[in-house]
Amino acid sequence: MSFIWLLSLLSLYCGIFPVGLGKNISSRPSVVNIGAIFSFDSTIGKVAKIAIEEAVKDVNADPTVLPTTNLWLQMQNSNCSGFLGMAEVLQLMENATVAIIGPQSSVVAHISSQIATEFQVPLVSFSATDPTLSALQFPFFVRAAQSDLFQMTAVAEIIEYYDWKEVIAIYVDDDYGWNGIAALDDKLSEKRCKITYKVGISPETAVNQVQVMDQLVKIALMESRVMVLHVNPKLGTLVFSVAKSLQMMGNGYVWIATDWLSSLLDSVVPPPPETLDSMQGVLSLRQHTAESDQKKAFLSRWNKLTGGSLGLNAYGLYAYDSVWVVAHAIDKFFNQGGVITHSNDSRLNFSGNGDLHLEAMTIFDGGNHLLNNILESDLFGLTGALKFDSGRSLVHPAYHIINVIGTGSRRVGYWSNYSGLSIEAPEILYSRPPNRSHANQKLYEVIWPGNTVEKPRGWVFPNNGKLLNIGVPLRASFKEFVSQIKGSDNFQGFCIDVFTAAVSLLPYAVPHQFIAFGNGHHNPNYTDLVYGITTGKFDAVVGDVAIVTSRTRLVDFTLPYTASGLVVVAPLKKLNTGAWAFLHPFSPAMWMVTAAFFLFIGIVVWILEHRTNDEFRGPPRRQCITILWFSFSTLFFAHKENTVSTLGRLVLIIWLFVVLIINSSYTASLTSILTVQQLYSPITGIETLREIDEPIGFQVGSFAERYLSEELNVSRSRLIPLGSPEEYAKALDLGPGKEGGVAAVVDELLYVENFISRECKFRVVGHEFTKSGWGFAFPRDSPLAIDMSTAILQLSENGDLQRIHDKWVVKSACISDSTDLKSDSLQLKSFWGLFLICGTVCFIALAIYCLQIIRQLYHSDSKESDLSSSSGSHPNRLRRIMSLFDEKKEPRQSKRRKVEKSSENDKNDGNLVVNP
């Protein structure tokens, strides 16, 4: 009986407290099934197989992770086949699998992720790098390696670092290849680079050397020499072998292989000499894994396991860490009270006697819980930090950049999503503020194909016998710049000579042919000529093509080889001086202010001298005449009146200095008017031309028409097209009052210089109102535009550009007379400083004089002080002040002489008394 009661109590206890026991004991099974899918015989698969097995052993041997529970691993060989991969995943679903390590291939990952989503089993892939495997489409897919999105960003930044603009992409024709190259195309576009040609090679094993050779022969005939190879190791080795036989691994070529090459080199120990020989100078990337003692210990252990016959690549490290991520997630799942249960999917219950047992496949009920635990991982493994960001990518994506040379490879730098290209390890940069400036991007020196350290140009002219079609304007006028040689297809002129000289400085040949644009009877439209580049009609344009904003939106120009802005040309008339020419040097305001100052100075000097100088005293009529005579006689320095007071002399000396400056300026201006300046034009520049409502001429085909109408808002009805210098002269001679006549012509400076070298009666008025130049046009991002710009700079520095200019563009003597136009009269603003100084001195002198009068008023002798009380009214005080202004005052010098004379007379009188 007691035994029965004991059993009952025990049963009751278990019923009351099921949670604690379930959490610690009953919820943890002894075995948890996980799967692994990869290709056993592939370069990555061979390494991953050993790494995954070792990781499972280490997890099962670690008491801190999954205590009392072991991982049971079932590995399936997908053979990189989507169909086989799907079948293997379905087989794993029959065994109550809770997580799958893999798949290895991106092709298999696309299919497997759909199955995993249906059965809610997380896939933790260590090598499926396809960037389109997104969390939105495949929520149960977790990438425990770096996405190709980051790898292609690194490739794009390498291409930008070396200033290459166009690349050729060679890829394996499957999901891995397509989507990787699509990501590269996007990243290159962000940096104004592009993929000019894409070559997809079948992933089938039946691909042979002949098929690869056919594709590489096409590539060899193209312009770009920068190749990006995104394939699998087997196909990549074949491509390099064929490229070597076609001499495409020599000088001038650039090969950038994605991380498949580093995986091959790291796994195969040692690499076959013939394989390395065909890859000399190739750049490749390797997924960066942080250095640690844990990693070093595992590498040592690896060498013992494999006996040195198989190397450990980065994907092997990621495969090892993937097992640990899953193990910690499962352990956390159990610690949170999770129970591994599976349920049947009603959609898979089929009736019948078929051999396909889909009903055996079950849905993992805790799949979402386990998936969240995986995404919340925060560990440190062999590869470094095992932590996922909001986009389900591992934090701190980074790559090694390696250069294949000799019997192995050498690291030339790093790329990290944090700071771009550098020669320092990413872990060092993480402790600093991010810096992606151009100056901070650095790599060590690379040994390129052909065993050279000189950076390849990255492009050549197509080796298919095709010449560059260069458009040249067939002008009807100004043929000194561009003209066709009669009876041939060749051209000559200033622009042609500059182009030829620049091409001769390039380190390579530029096979080309000139193609005329226009009929030779009228000047062609230059915008249409430039537009021909965008349509593929021309490969370049050479001629007197101005670099303007609208054209730079279509093509790339070289640096200007000559400056040529818009100017105004107008007819000149002789200046008729007339009887009143002597008034022209000064403006009316200048004349009035000068005359006023003459009177003002006369009055000031009279005030300062009136009390002490007899020459400034007398009857009022005489004093007025004295003021006028004294003031205007200073113009010729002919004043006879002497100044006695100190203040008067100070004012006079300043005024005489002002008169000297005014006299000199007037004489110089009048001399210029009467002798040199004999020509003038009512139009003084573009502003005057805009204000008057008169016709304006422009050269047919020039951008001047668009600039005047769109930029300066000149009515198109005022614009008259002119086709030749003769038409310029005729229209200017007719003038604006007659049909076909113009008030002025607006054209580029070089054309105008050529025109007025023959027609000296016309001149440039005003200044250039645009700053542009002539350049050679090429397609957007053409590397030839950069090299030609460098050649033009060399021509400018060695003087050849000036010599070519002097040969074709001739200037006559009348061009230098363009300044012989009527100048403006001298304005008051040129002399206001002198008048200000003089006026200031006058007011200071008057102020001092007034203070002296006031002091004398309040310090009169005692007799006048006694009478002050009786004369304190305002009229009396005013009369007193006026009397002081008019009172005669002896100068101190005169008083001293009188005293001395008086003393001398007294002595003489004394002598006369003593000696009688």
d(CA 696, CA 569): 10
Do 601 and 657 sit in the same domain of this protein?
Answer: yes
Strands 696-699 and 719-722: parallel
Nearest alpha-carbon partner for 605 in 640, 638, 637, 650: 650
Please indicate, yes or no, if residue 26 is contained in any of the structural domains.
Answer: no
Length of the chain: 916
With 0-12 CB in 10 A as exposed, 13-18 as middle and 19+ as buried, what is 244? middle
Note the pLDDT of residue 645.
Answer: 76
Angle between helices 783-798 and 800-808 (to 10 degrees): 80
pLDDT of residue 7: 40
* Under-70 pLDDT residues of the chain: 1-27, 205-206, 346-360, 463-465, 574-582, 610-618, 637-641, 673-680, 810-828, 830, 857-916
Residue 693 CA, distance from chain mean position: 42
Pair 181, 282 in one domain: yes
Q: What is the pLDDT of residues 541-550, one digit of tens each?
A: 999 999 998 8
The predicted pLDDT at position 861 comes to 45
Do 376 and 405 share a structural domain?
Answer: no
571 and 697 in a common domain = yes
Q: Are 678 and 817 in contact (CB under 8 A)?
A: no
Q: Supply the angle between the helices 620-633 and 588-609 in degrees, to the nearest 10.
A: 130
Q: Could you tell me what percent of the chain has a pLDDT over 70?
A: 82
The reply to whether 406 and 432 lie within a common domain is: yes
For the beta sheet containing 512-517, the strands, ordered from the edge strand earlier in sequence to the opposite edge, are: 512-517, 468-473, 540-541, 777-778, 556-557
- Token pair listed for 462: 């197509």
Q: Are 445 and 455 in contact (CB under 8 A)?
A: no
Residue partners of 667: CB distance under 8 A and separation at least 6: none
Nearest-CA neighbor of 411 among 420, 421, 419?
A: 421
Cβ atoms of 560 and 546 closer than 8 Å: no
pLDDT of the residue at 276: 94
Is residue 855 assigned to a domain?
Answer: no
Q: Are 154 and 170 in contact (CB under 8 A)?
A: no
Residue 323 lies in a domain: yes
Residue 883, amino acid: S
Overall domain count for the chain: 5
Q: Are residues 112 and 91 in the same domain?
A: yes
Same domain membership, residue 190 and residue 202: yes
Same domain, yes or no, for 317 and 331? yes
Q: Tokens at residue 310, please?
A: 């198989």
Burial class (CB in 10 A: 0-12, 13-18, 19+), 738: exposed
The span from the CA of 106 to the CA of 124, in Å, is: 12
Residue 401 lies in a domain: yes
Final residue of a structural domain among 330, 361, 392: 392
Q: Is residue 897 part of a domain?
A: no
Extended strands (E) in 476-551 = 483-484, 491-492, 512-517, 540-541
Contact 278, 240 (CB under 8 A): yes
- Cβ atoms of 358 and 348 closer than 8 Å: yes
Phi first, then psi, for residue 279 (nearest 5°) are -120, 15
What pLDDT, on a 0 to 100 scale, did the predictor assign at position 859?
65
In the chain, % helix, strand, coil (3-state, to 5) comes to: 45, 15, 35
Which domain covers residue 701, as residue numbers?
A: 565-575+677-771
Is the domain of 280 the same as that of 413?
yes
| Nearest residue to 615 (alpha-carbon basis) of 891, 857, 899, 851 | 891
Q: Are residues 654 and 700 in the same domain?
A: no
pLDDT at 880: 62
Per-residue model confidence (pLDDT) at position 913: 41
Please report which helix (H) or strand (E) contains residue 880, including its range. helix 874-886
CATH number, domain with residue 793: 3.40.190.10
CATH number for the domain that contains residue 276: 3.40.50.2300
Are 781 and 470 in contact, with CB atoms under 8 Å apart?
Answer: no
Q: Are 122 and 322 in contact (CB under 8 A)?
A: no
**899: in domain:** no
Give the bridge partners for 101, in sequence order: 36, 124
* Residue that has been written with the tokens 């009177």 in this structure: 599
Q: Would you say residue 12 lies in a domain? A: no
Q: Collapsing DSSP states into helix, strand and coil, what is residue 130?
A: coil
Instruction: Determine the distance from the C-alpha atom of residue 746 to the mean position of all C-alpha atoms in its chain, rounded to a whole number.
Output: 33
Q: Is the same domain home to 357 and 347?
A: yes
Instruction: Determine the pLDDT at residue 21.
Output: 34
pLDDT at 467: 86
What's the CA angle centered on 90, arms 86 and 94, to 5 degrees?
Answer: 165
- Please say which residue of 675, 693, 717 terminates a domain: 675
Q: Convert the pLDDT of each residue in 173-213 to its tens digit.
A: 999 999 999 999 999 999 989 999 999 998 876 678 888 99
Residue 871, pLDDT score: 46
User: Which uninterrupted H or E stretch holds 277?
Assistant: helix 273-277
- Confirm whether 57 is domain-assigned: yes
- Same-domain status, 165 and 265: yes
Domain final residue, candidates 746, 771, 796 = 771
pLDDT at 25: 44
- The first and second tokens of residue 576, run together, are 């008729």
Which tens digit of pLDDT belongs to each residue from 710-767? 888 898 889 999 988 899 999 998 888 788 889 999 999 888 888 888 888 888 888 8
